[in-house]
Chains A and B, each alone.
Chain A
Amino acid sequence: MKMQHLKQIFTFRFSIKHGALLLGFSMLFFNACVDDNNIDEVFEATPYQIEIPFGFPTKLNIPENNPMTVEGVELGRYLFYDGRLSGRNHPDSLMSCATCHRQERAFEAGVDHPDFPGGFPHGLTGLPTHHVMLPMINLVWNHSGYGWNGFLYPNNPEENLRNIEDFVRLTVMAKDEIDGDTLQTREMIQSIPGYPELFKKAFGSDKVTFVNIGKAIAQFVRTLISANSKFDKYMRGEVQLSQSELNGYVLFTTEEGADCFHCHGGFGNPLFTTHLFYNNGKDTEFTDPMDRFQISKDPMDHGAYKATTLRNIEVQGPYMHDGRFATLEEVIDFYSHDLKDSPYINPLMHHINDGGILLTPTEKEDLLNFIKTLRDDDFMTNPDFGKPGKFPDEK
């Protein structure tokens, strides 16, 4: 009899009541084994998935506290292009990220910028920036520090100097850029009809915070992916390079040629940068208070700066951290015969005692033609990266 009872007990059908009871215990079980973060409200935005292009790294630099969402990216795109990010609305006082970062110039100013002759930006006050700009291309794969000297890096002991989110704050506050303050910007954005709703969708609250402004813009910037240049298509076997481009490719990737690849990548590193810092032989004296040495404190980093990505480099002049070269031809001439030796020259500049890589005119042309295969027009015309048709208050 007892056995029959037990059998009955273990074979009964679950009633709703029993189900609820078990569910309750399951919750207990779950809660017992995880940290209690006291999340008052469960907020869910739509995850934004970054597709990894062929040959690209799989490790992304996305902070844990700012996961990518469709709503966050959309908001970030508005803010990136909205001049009221300056916290002001007078036509002379508008400034956004896009004021300097132009899509058609791979999100650099470009030498033909209408307000910054030669591509040398200045802030709202007229103060020039310390360095020229770096492009916004494939930054979601940068783990080695943002800026020419990499002053924003993931494990920085100074927690507010780690990533693109912090760059947004610094840009708004910098005297040589927006020269604003975060409170003023926050209040301005809060006051613009349509934005609070977008913040609600992206972050679960219609209260605008500057932290969320930074997060949204950073999310948008992380979507700016260039992976469809002629060289990408060549990598994927879709097109062939011309003979001159192929000759340039061989020069680019050989030690006895131009030896660009050790710092600027290639087939095995399609970011076309290592994101590391090198003294590449521009000078013999180093007085810049914002070179890599100021961050690393390694004496060998005097005069060292980030190797920029060569993707879309054709449209990104002026070149080098101080914009000393206006054209790619000048850059190639420099690497060919104008290198300057110093105790801090990076060992990878192994042609230094010849003054450079000593290219013939034909080789220079071939190298230039190869570098131009890194131009990605899809990136520079992609409507998802462009200025929105209307801002939230214009809808």
Chain B
Amino acid sequence: MAKNKQMKKLKSITILLIAGFLLASSCNKDNPQPVDNTARLTLSFYHLVDSLPIDFDTMKYVNAAGNPYLVSEIQYFISDVTLHNTDGTYHLLDAWEDIHYVDTDLYETFKYVLKDSILPGTYDSLIFTFGISEEKNQSLMFVNPPESNMFWPEYLGGGYHYLKLNGKWKDTEDIIHPYNFHMGIGQIYDPESDEITGFVQNYFKVKFHYNLEIEPGDTIFIPIDVHVDQWFENPHVFDFNVWGGDIMQKQDAMQVAKENGHNVFQKSMIIGD
């Protein structure tokens, strides 16, 4: 009997010990964690006109064609961020989750914190897609605002705007017009019937050359300057008097924008911790 009693007591003590251990370990924040040998990457976007932060809604800028203009808002998508290694390999970050929305009215969107970790090593370039690739640009993939407000009508090719750059410009007679410099899937129209006979993908890749030595545990911040004036300047001078203020249904104008877009994004000094 005594032995049985002793046994029961021992059982109870053991349970208490196990539960106590559970309790202690569950709230212990100081448990040794596995060492993270990877690094992290954040892109930050700075929106500029004439190399200075944008003064919105002020008719103070003049583009390369001599059109006075103001900027009201900019919204766009960045996707397919890829780091290229010196050995020829590359690392696509965040795969299908990698479409980032930037909106000059939403400060929190200026930073793109990549979720994937990066393996330490030497990388010589960073490439991203401006807009969304044909494969990924599927209608209704964003159902929540603000991204859903970027939808590109089905009739015009579907998917999403790559870019909405809205503002106003002044013509040669000093009349102010709105402009909607919007990019997305372009259309080819039959000159006779005006029916759409085909679509054109206008997304493009932006490449920055770096010499990135990434060490384990690094957090790399890559600032990217977004030079809005370059949409209208280099290599093609974009004249609002020629193209008008709206370009969603003008593939030739979007082609100009596409070729100018490579110069819109420029690298700035990298900051690491």
Contact = CB atoms under 8 A, between A and B. Distances in A.
A25 B15 CA distance: 9
A261 interface: yes
B234 to A, nearest CB: 24
A22 B16 CA distance: 8
Interface string B13-36: 011100110110011000000000
Contacts of B160: 268
A55 B175 contact: no
Interface string B73-114: 000000000000000000000000000000000000000000
A26 interface: yes
Interface size class of A (residues with CB under 8 A): 35 or more
A9 B148 contact: no
B178 A253 contact: no
Given A26-B19, A347-B166, A347-B167, A57 B143 contact: yes
Contacts of B248: 254-256
B22 A143 contact: no
A21 B72 CA distance: 66
A165 to B, nearest CB: 22
B144 A59 contact: yes
Interface stretch (B116-124, B151-159, B223-231, B256-264): B151-159
A37 interface: no
Contacts of A29: 19, 22-23, 26
B148 to A, nearest CB: 5
Given A26-B19, A57-B143, A256-B249, A347 B168 contact: yes
Contact of B72 (A25, A274, A347, A353): A347
B182 interface: yes
A32 B145 contact: no
Contacts of B142: 268
Contacts of B15: 18, 21-22, 25
Nearest to B12: A21
A32 to B, nearest CB: 6
A3 interface: no
Nearest to A55: B140
Contacts of A268: 139-140, 142, 148, 150-153, 160
A272 B2 CA distance: 79
Contact of A9 (B10, B154, B180, B182): B10
A267 interface: yes
Interface string A345-374: 111111011000000000000000000000
Interface in A1-45: 5, 8-10, 12, 18, 21-22, 25-26, 28-29, 32-33
A300 interface: yes
B143 A254 contact: no
B26 A25 contact: no
Given A18-B12, A253-B153, A347 B180 contact: yes
B55 interface: no
Given A255-B246, A347-B180, A349-B178, A266 B23 contact: no
A193 to B, nearest CB: 44
A215 B178 CA distance: 43
Interface size class of B (residues with CB under 8 A): 35 or more
Contacts of A25: 15-16, 19-20, 22-23
Nearest to A353: B177
B12 A300 contact: no
A29 B155 CA distance: 58
A261 B144 contact: no
Contacts of A22: 15, 19
B267 interface: no
Given A25-B23, A29-B23, A58 B144 contact: yes
Contacts of A59: 144
Contacts of B168: 347
A274 B249 contact: no
B246 to A, nearest CB: 5
Contact of B11 (A12, A33, A144, A249): A12
B153 to A, nearest CB: 4
A2 to B, nearest CB: 12
A167 to B, nearest CB: 21
A334 interface: no
A158 B177 CA distance: 38
Nearest to A263: B149
A300 B72 contact: yes
Interface in A45-71: 55-59
Nearest to A142: B145
Nearest to B56: A300
Contact of B153 (A144, A266, A349): A266
Please name the 10 residue pairs, one residue from A and one from B, whose CB atoms are nearest each other, closest first.
A268-B151, A25-B19, A253-B153, A347-B178, A347-B166, A255-B248, A350-B178, A57-B144, A59-B144, A255-B246
Given A259-B246, A268-B151, A350-B178, 6 more contacts: A22-B15, A28-B23, A58-B144, A143-B145, A268-B140, A347-B167
6 contacts: A18-B15, A29-B26, A59-B144, A254-B156, A267-B154, A347-B178
